[in-house]
A and B are shown apart, each in its own frame.
Chain A
């Protein structure tokens, strides 16, 4: 089955760029997602990328997909303190299109 891995923690300074990385094992994932979890809340969809795309940009967010290396990244430009949260990557595929989540990366933004 799908296995999705992320580093556990990233610390950046306000105004810098953040890059959160994710690797996955199942190349049949049709879509790959980034979810954000703020403290005390559920997950919210941040952005997603279709598997035949290399890059997707949405305001401060850039998603890069390297299918050959099975590597997904989320870049947040001009990181703000409000971006402090846990970020989960997830892949969906297979017969039931089930979402498999990574372990989550805690992003800490220092003022």
Chain B
């Protein structure tokens, strides 16, 4: 089954404790992206990757890191989480970059709470 898998789905952590949210897709997609969803703000892009070893900042990259060592995986790293990073995070992938009548496939989301 074609899917984007994120882990963990739910996480409560404390300020400053490094964490990684993993994302894996099994569709051989070139493009992968991370978004955060906050009430009243919609989805905002954190980082994206056009292909292996190619990553770029989105609209809200501060406090986050990513890597794309393999095509299928695109982990999101919070080196020193802060309460303002409490949010619902989505990983997404598509065959080509971002749009162009290509469908963006989303994971089920990871709800992160930073105390």
Contacts and interface: CB of A to CB of B under 8 A. Distances in A.
Interface of A: 4, 8, 30-31, 33, 35, 40-45, 48, 50, 88, 90-93, 96-99, 101-104
B78 interface: no
Contacts of A93: 99
Nearest to A41: B108
B95 to A, nearest CB: 12
A97 B48 contact: no
A31 B101 contact: yes
Contacts of A40: 108-109
Interface residues of B, number: 26
A8 B41 CA distance: 10
Contact of A92 (B56, B100, B106): B100
A30 to B, nearest CB: 7
Interface string B37-63: 000111111001010000010100000
Nearest to B109: A42
Contacts, number: 68
Nearest to A30: B100
Name the prevailing secondary structure of the A interface residues. strand
Interface string B79-115: 0000000000010100011111101101111000000
B4 A96 contact: no
A97 B100 contact: yes
Given A43-B106, A103-B42, A97 B99 contact: yes
Ranked 5 nearest A-B pairs via Cβ: A92-B99, A42-B106, A103-B42, A101-B43, A97-B98
Contacts of A104: 42-43
